[in-house]
Amino acid sequence: MIKAKRGTKDIFKDEIYSWQWIEDAAKETFQNAGFAEIKTPIFEATELFNRGVGDSTDIINKEMYTFCAPKSDESITLRPENTASVVRAYIEHNMQRMSPPSKFWYFGPMFRYERPQAGRQRQFYQAGVEMFGVKEPLADAEVILCAVDFLDKLGLSNLEVELNSLGCNECKSEYRNSIKEAIRPYLDEMCDDCKVRFEKNPLRILDCKNDECKKVLEKINDVIYKDYICDNCKEHYEKLKSYLDDLNIKYIENKLLVRGLDYYTRTVFEIKSTSLGSQSAVCGGGRYDNLVETLGGMPTPAVGFAMGVERLCALIEKKQAPMLDYYIVSTKPNEAIKLAQKLRKEGKKVEFDLANKKFTKQLEKASKTANCALILDEEEIQGNFYSVKDLKTSEQYRIDNFKELL
């Protein structure tokens, strides 16, 4: 028997209704805030992610599904995240000429080769938003508000917003060098991944979950918590916090929050659940003001976030299949299918017996799947009426006009 590959799963039966509900909630929340849906290809030129995500990240070094296109030397990669793809689309379709802001949302599969665990698959789904063209911190606040509103719509509680500012490129460079010099004497005590990060992007060390690396970071707290961002970045950060205060969005400042992607500048944030254990982040994002230029576009400020749908599914109340409006109970399948067609054209959810089951078995099926049983047998056909049984109250009544069924 051929089975699904490790790190992938089939989503169907009862589980699919939770997924559909989350996607519907995303569509409503994001579009109500003026974000337009975008669907990008699931594979892109490998260079897009190498340049966009950064070669010091675990995604580039360990996790990408990369292959050569058939009959070609072109390197193709299944998208490991969607921000770089949306930026590519933004540049390719000359959207920089549009009046800002340009606002997009998406929902779809991503691919990373990593150890499967609860809430994390090799093919996984993300919902997210991206906003281009606004440098003011009000855009950051709008994006965070959009994330919070979406999670509220899902009915989630026990959530914490963590916030930090990495500063602009100049700020980051100074801070990066300070962290590197402070860590250098303890480099032998750190994990192999952090030894690589030390050369490529020392700030990623701050996010390491290894216990020995955490002990090293405790030794350099004075450097980590130094106020290093420039006046412009500080003003941006203070304004953002003021907006969040005005919106009654509670947050915790976390100087160790750097996010796992190289393109972030200034604002970074995560929303975490206290119900998920160590893998607690359900949303992560921030500002990436240099990425559009890095990928060949004009300098353009941008900010966004992404959420893991699998983790959202683990947190929400499970959804059940929507009930049918009617289940047609009949021993006349030719009449049942014609009636089902008419009702479906009027927007009703209708099913009927396809297996020629006995009348009692059909009623049993109706009681599990529908709000009402619509009885259509010889008596009803000859008398040109319908018998309807309300399956919640067990009340049965007669309807003489088709329009009364609608």
The CATH number linked to 387 is: 3.40.50.800
330-to-9, 337, 382, 388 alpha-carbon distances in Å: 38, 10, 13, 12
- Gap between the Cα atoms of 213 and 225, Å rounded: 17
User: Of 294, 315, 336, which residue is a domain's last?
Assistant: 315
The two three-digit tokens of residue 14, written as one number: 């009862």
H or E stretch including 30? Answer: helix 13-32
User: Of 315, 345, 361, which residue is a domain's last?
Assistant: 315
In the sheet that holds 75-78, the strands lie side by side as 43-45, 75-78, 66-68
Average confidence (pLDDT) per 10 residues, the chain, 406 residues: 94 93 97 98 95 75 87 92 97 94 97 83 96 98 97 88 92 85 89 85 83 88 85 96 96 87 90 73 94 96 96 90 96 95 97 92 95 94 95 95 94
- Gap between the Cα atoms of 269 and 247, Å rounded: 16
Give the per-residue pLDDT at 52: 85
- Gap between the Cα atoms of 367 and 320, Å rounded: 15
Q: Is residue 82 part of a domain?
A: yes
Long-range contacts of 182-190 (CB under 8 A, 24+ apart): 182/220, 182/223, 182/224, 183/216, 183/220, 186/216, 186/219, 186/220, 189/213, 189/215, 189/216, 190/216
What three-state secondary structure class fits 189?
helix
- Which parts of 248-406 fold into alpha helices (H)? 291-294, 309-315, 333-345, 359-369, 378-383
Quote the domain boundaries for residue 25.
13-168+229-315
Give the gyration radius of the chain's Cα atoms.
27
- Which parts of 316-371 fold into alpha helices (H)? 333-345, 359-369
Give the per-residue pLDDT at 277: 61
Are 145 and 235 in a shared domain?
A: yes
User: Of 290, 315, 340, which residue is a domain's last?
Assistant: 315
Q: Is residue 17 part of a domain?
A: yes
Give the per-residue pLDDT at 158: 78
Q: Is residue 187 part of a domain?
A: no
Number of domains in the chain: 2
Q: Is residue 221 part of a domain?
A: no
What three-state secondary structure class fits 176?
helix
Are 233 and 373 in a shared domain?
A: no
Are 289 and 158 in a shared domain?
A: yes
Give the per-residue pLDDT at 56: 63
